[in-house]
Amino acid sequence: MLIGIDWGGTKIEGVAMERDGRELLRLREETPRHDYFGCIRVIKAMIAGLESQTGRTGTLGIGIPGSLEPVSRLGKGASSTWLLGRPVEKDLHDAIQRDIRVENDADCFAASEAVDGAGAGHNVVFAVILGSGAGAGIAVGGKAHHGPNNSGGEWGHNPLPFPNVTEIPGKACYCGRHGCMETWVSGRAFEAEYASHTHEELKAREIIDRKRNGDRLSGLLWERYIDRVARGLATVVNSLDPDILVMGGGMSNVDELYDDLPRELAKRTFSTVFHTPIRKAVHGDSSGVRGAAWLWK
């Protein structure tokens, strides 16, 4: 069987799957935030639990919230900053004492949706994550794409295109820069924008509910959010022209996204036409862990 582990910033999830994608068992634990070796202990115990409860041994694929520097294999670009500069692959291997394959979680998400999700049948899949952060993975021919810097899909750390005077220089990002897309289009950014106007802290779904009930401010902030997502993705379409955009993360659950974003994106791309389908991830929050398992398919 195939075992996938999704090492996320808030939860660690594991799945045991047949090679045809049928799920046998799923386990989930809260991430011990800022406790690097605590996370590794949770992963080791989760693998043991998956195998003991199924009575079978599986191959091991692990998705991490960041990527590995191609030469040193040290963690980089991780929103879970306790992975930065760590020999993640080596430490996981030393703890588990098994062959493992480790990839970026967004790449796992892209591969999952390309194999048997919303991107199935499409050659170039750009899979966007609009969650607590913002990022993306690229899959080509059903496999995650990797370049020489292992940085493909790092859309969330490009600057917001065509900023107006109120958007310069932008908020500070954990990566050390200002105005990254992540600081504008993540779910947390949407919530922070609402709080800055109302001094009231609400979850994104609560703000969307207010918009649907006719609250003018919530509606205006949603329009601004869509405009920013469209500006950011226009650079992707202009550069890569993927066959499909697959949306994941908490903000992908807002149904209005699939009506409003295509219209705004069409206004922002260089081409006079915009035919790229924008689809919600079929496997939702499960895509990352399934993609990690597919690393051994």
Helix 204-212 vs helix 187-198: crossing angle, to nearest 10:
60
What pLDDT does 174 receive?
Answer: 87
What pLDDT does 4 receive?
Answer: 97
What's the 3-state SS for 137-167? EEEECCEECCCCCCCCCCHHHCECCCCCHHH
Examine the domain organization and report whether 86 and 213 are in the same domain.
no
In a domain? residue 115? no
DSSP string, 53-102: HHT---EEEEEESSEE-TTT--EES-SSGGGTT--HHHHHHHHH-S-EEE
268 occurs within a structural domain: yes
pTM of the model: 0.90
Predicted local confidence at residue 9, as pLDDT: 82
Query: In this structure, are 50 and 74 located in the same domain?
Result: yes
> Residue 116 falls within a domain, yes or no?
no
Split the chain (297 residues) into runs of 10 and give each run's mean pLDDT.
Answer: 92 94 95 94 97 97 91 87 92 96 92 94 96 92 89 92 95 92 96 96 96 97 98 97 96 96 97 96 89 89
Residue 140 belongs to some domain of the structure: yes
- Please give the residue range of the domain that contains residue 32: 2-110+286-295
138 and 89 in one domain?
Answer: no
215 and 236 assigned to the same domain = yes
* CATH code of the domain containing 180: 3.30.420.40
Q: Are 25 and 141 part of one and the same domain?
A: no
Q: Would residue 253 count as lying in a domain?
A: yes
Do 125 and 259 sit in the same domain of this protein?
Answer: yes
| pLDDT at site 255 | 96
**Is 11 a domain residue?**
yes
> Same structural domain for residues 157 and 221?
yes
Half-sphere exposure of 10 (CA within 13 A, CB side): 6
Total number of domains constituting the chain? 2
Q: Phi and psi for 293 in degrees, rounded to 5?
A: -65, -35
Please indicate, yes or no, whether residues 259 and 130 belong to a single structural domain of this protein.
Answer: yes
* In a shared domain, residues 70 and 175: no
Query: Which pLDDT belongs to residue 146?
Result: 85
Note whether 104 and 148 are same-domain residues. Answer: no
Predicted local distance difference test score (pLDDT) of residue 78: 82
User: Going by C-beta distance under 8 Å and a sequence separation of 6 or more, which residues neighbour residue 221?
Assistant: 190, 193, 194, 197, 207, 211
Q: What is the pLDDT of residue 262?
A: 98
Closest to 156 in 3D by CA, of 123, 128, 176: 128
pLDDT of residue 284: 86
pLDDT for the residue numbered 242: 98
26 class by beta-carbon count within 10 Å (0-12 exposed, 13-18 middle, 19+ buried): middle
